[in-house]
Chains A and B, each alone.
Chain A
Amino acid sequence: MHRVLGDRRAIAILLGPALLVYSLIMLVPMFWSVGYSFTKGNTIEGFTWHGFGNFSHLWSDPNAHQALWFTLKYAVVVTVGQVAVGYLLALLYVFFLRRASALIRTLVFFPMVLPTVAVGLLFKALFQIAPQYGPINQLLVDVGLHPIDWFSSTGTAFIVLVIMDVWRSMGFYAVLLYAGLVDVPDDILESARLDGASGLRLVRHIVLPLSFPVLMSSLIFSINGTLKVFDSILPLTNGGPGNSTTPLTVLMFNTAFDYGDYGYGSAIALLLTVVCLLVTLVVFRVSRRDLTKG
Chain B
Amino acid sequence: MIATSTRSKRRLLGLSASAAALTLLASACGGTGGGASSGGGSAAPSSFSFLSATENTVDRAVLTSLSKNECATENKALPLSVQTQPQANLNEKVQLLAGQNALPVTFHEDTPTTVVQLAQSGKVENLEPLLQKLGVEDQLLPSAVSTVKELYNGQLDALPAEYNIEGIFYNKQIFAAHGLSVPSTWDELVADAAKLQTAGVQPFSASGQQGWPITRLIGDYIFRDLGPNAMKDVADGKAKLTDPAYVAAAQKVADLGKAGYFGKGVGSIDYNTALNTFLTGKAAMLYMGSWALSNIGDPKQDSVGAANIGFMPFPAVAGGQGSIDQYPSNIGLGIVVSSQYANNTEVDDWLSCVAKNYGTDSLKGQSTISGFKVNTPVPAANAVTTQVQTTMSTATSSVLWFEALFNAQATTTSQQDAAPLVSGSMSAQQFMSAVQNALTSGS
**B263 contacts the other chain (CB 8 A):** yes
**A209 contacts the other chain (CB 8 A):** no
B interface residue count range (under 10 / 10 to 19 / 20 to 34 / 35 or more) = 35 or more
Q: How far is the CA of A239 from the CA of B415 in the complex (A)?
A: 12
Contact in complex: A130, B121 (CB < 8 Å) = no
Contact in complex: B408, A258 (CB < 8 Å) = yes
**B434 contacts the other chain (CB 8 A):** yes
Contacts of B420 in A (CB 8 A): 152, 240-242, 244
**A149 contacts the other chain (CB 8 A):** yes
Q: Please provide the chain B residues from 64 to 97 with a CB less than 8 Å away from any CB of chain A in the complex.
A: 88, 91-92, 95-96
A147 CB to nearest B CB, Å: 8
**B290 contacts the other chain (CB 8 A):** no
Contacts of B91 in A (CB 8 A): 258
Q: Please provide the chain A residues from 115 to 134 with a CB less than 8 Å away from any CB of chain B in the complex.
A: 124, 128-131
Closest partner residue, chain B, to A157 (CB atom): B267
Contacts of A259 in B (CB 8 A): 407-409, 412, 442
Contacts of A24 in B (CB 8 A): 25
**A151 contacts the other chain (CB 8 A):** yes
Classify the secondary structure of A's interface with B: loop
Contact in complex: B425, A152 (CB < 8 Å) = yes
Q: Please provide the chain A residues from 126 to 158 with a CB less than 8 Å away from any CB of chain B in the complex.
A: 128-131, 147, 149, 151-154
B150 CB to nearest A CB, Å: 22
Contacts of A153 in B (CB 8 A): 423, 425
**B264 contacts the other chain (CB 8 A):** yes
B311 CB to nearest A CB, Å: 24
Q: How far is the CA of A21 from the CA of B29 in the complex (A)?
A: 12
**B120 contacts the other chain (CB 8 A):** yes
Binary contact readout A32-48 vs B (1 if CB under 8 angstroms, 0 otherwise): 00000000001111100
Q: How far is the CA of A17 from the CA of B268 in the complex (A)?
A: 49
Q: How far is the CA of A147 from the CA of B417 in the complex (A)?
A: 23
Q: Please provide the chain B residues from 114 to 138 with a CB less than 8 Å away from any CB of chain A in the complex.
A: 114, 117-118, 120-121, 123
Which of B88, B121, B267, B441 is the one whose CB lies under 8 Å from A44? Answer: B121
Q: Please provide the chain B residues from 236 to 286 with a CB less than 8 Å away from any CB of chain A in the complex.
A: 263-269, 273, 276-277
B143 CB to nearest A CB, Å: 30
Q: How far is the CA of A239 from the CA of B419 in the complex (A)?
A: 13
Contact in complex: B269, A131 (CB < 8 Å) = yes
Contact in complex: B99, A43 (CB < 8 Å) = yes
Contact in complex: A44, B95 (CB < 8 Å) = yes
**A45-B120 contact, Cβ under 8 Å, with A131-B273, A241-B419:** yes
**A278 contacts the other chain (CB 8 A):** no
Contacts of A130 in B (CB 8 A): 263-266, 268-269, 273
**B395 contacts the other chain (CB 8 A):** no
- Most chain B CB within 10 A, of A46, A152, A240, is at A152
Closest partner residue, chain B, to A154 (CB atom): B425
**A261 contacts the other chain (CB 8 A):** yes
Contact in complex: A44, B114 (CB < 8 Å) = yes
**B61 contacts the other chain (CB 8 A):** no
Which of A62, A129, A242, A257 is the one whose CB lies under 8 Å from B265? Answer: A129
Q: How far is the CA of A149 from the CA of B423 in the complex (A)?
A: 10
Q: Please provide the chain B residues from 396 to 426 with a CB less than 8 Å away from any CB of chain A in the complex.
A: 407-409, 412-413, 416-417, 419-420, 423, 425-426
**A242-B426 contact, Cβ under 8 Å, with A45-B120, A45-B121, A259-B409:** yes
Q: How far is the CA of A259 from the CA of B123 in the complex (A)?
A: 18
**A260 contacts the other chain (CB 8 A):** yes
Contact in complex: A128, B268 (CB < 8 Å) = yes
- Most chain B CB within 10 A, of A42, A124, A153, A242, is at A242
**B98 contacts the other chain (CB 8 A):** yes
B77 CB to nearest A CB, Å: 31
**B15 contacts the other chain (CB 8 A):** no
Which of B88, B267, B276, B412 is the one whose CB lies under 8 Å from A151? Answer: B267
B169 CB to nearest A CB, Å: 19
**B437 contacts the other chain (CB 8 A):** yes
Binary contact readout A235-261 vs B (1 if CB under 8 angstroms, 0 otherwise): 000111111100000000011011111
Q: How far is the CA of A46 from the CA of B121 in the complex (A)?
A: 9
Closest partner residue, chain B, to A21 (CB atom): B25
**A77 contacts the other chain (CB 8 A):** no
Contacts of B118 in A (CB 8 A): 44
**A97 contacts the other chain (CB 8 A):** no
Contact in complex: A62, B409 (CB < 8 Å) = no
Binary contact readout A83-118 vs B (1 if CB under 8 angstroms, 0 otherwise): 000000000000000000000000000000000000
Using a CB–CB distance below 8 Å, which chain A residues touch chain B?
Answer: 17, 20-21, 24, 42-46, 57, 61-62, 124, 128-131, 147, 149, 151-154, 238-244, 254-255, 257-261
Can you list 14 A-B contacts with CB-CB less than 8 angstroms, sorted by A residue number? Answer: A17-B21, A21-B25, A44-B123, A45-B117, A45-B120, A130-B266, A130-B269, A152-B267, A154-B425, A241-B420, A254-B412, A257-B96, A258-B408, A260-B408
Ranked 3 nearest A-B pairs via Cβ:
A43-B99, A130-B265, A129-B265
